[in-house]
Copies of this chain bind each other. A is one copy, B any other.
Amino acid sequence: MRIGELSKKTGVASRMLRYYEEQGLISPTRLDNGYRDYQDYLIDRVGKIRGLVDSGIPSRIIVDILPCLDQEQDIVVRNVEPGLRDLLAQERDRMSQKIDFLTQNRDAITKYIAALDEAATEAPLASAS
């Protein structure tokens, strides 16, 4: 499919799809006319990229992570560069840390919101008095 179609299916602007290609995150083939040609599996992949980017993972890391996330078939374990396992383990730990931080802070905010709501219920005159 061409860039416009992929853009509609993923909700990611064409502009961004070209940008992600520039970053090495996706590599569509080209049609005779020079247009980019995206395969179906890239729809899913773009979603994963957005998820990772939104999670604050830098794109140079995403490049390494992506192959591990495309696991529709068996996991491919051939041609593993020596440092990759460690890099992945490192990134996995960083992600665990992030998850812990976020969970802690989200829970704190949740409690705070609950307190706000309770206060509003008990004494709703604060702003009107």
- Please give the residue numbers on chain A whose beta carbons come within 8 Å of chain B beta carbons, in ascending order: 48, 51-52, 54-57, 65, 68-69, 71, 75, 77-78, 80, 82, 84-85, 88-89, 91-92, 95-99, 101-106, 108-113, 115-117, 119, 126-127
Contact = CB atoms under 8 A, between A and B. Distances in A.
A113 B126 contact: no
Contacts of A104: 51
Nearest 3 A-B pairs (CB), nearest first?
A56-B56, A68-B112, A77-B119
Contacts of A119: 77
A27 B95 CA distance: 30
A112 B56 CA distance: 21
Most buried by B among A65, A109, A110, A112: A112
Contacts of A77: 115-116, 119
B88 A113 contact: yes
B71 A112 contact: yes
Nearest to A86: B113
Nearest to A75: B115
A110 B105 CA distance: 24
A55 B98 contact: yes
A105 B88 CA distance: 11
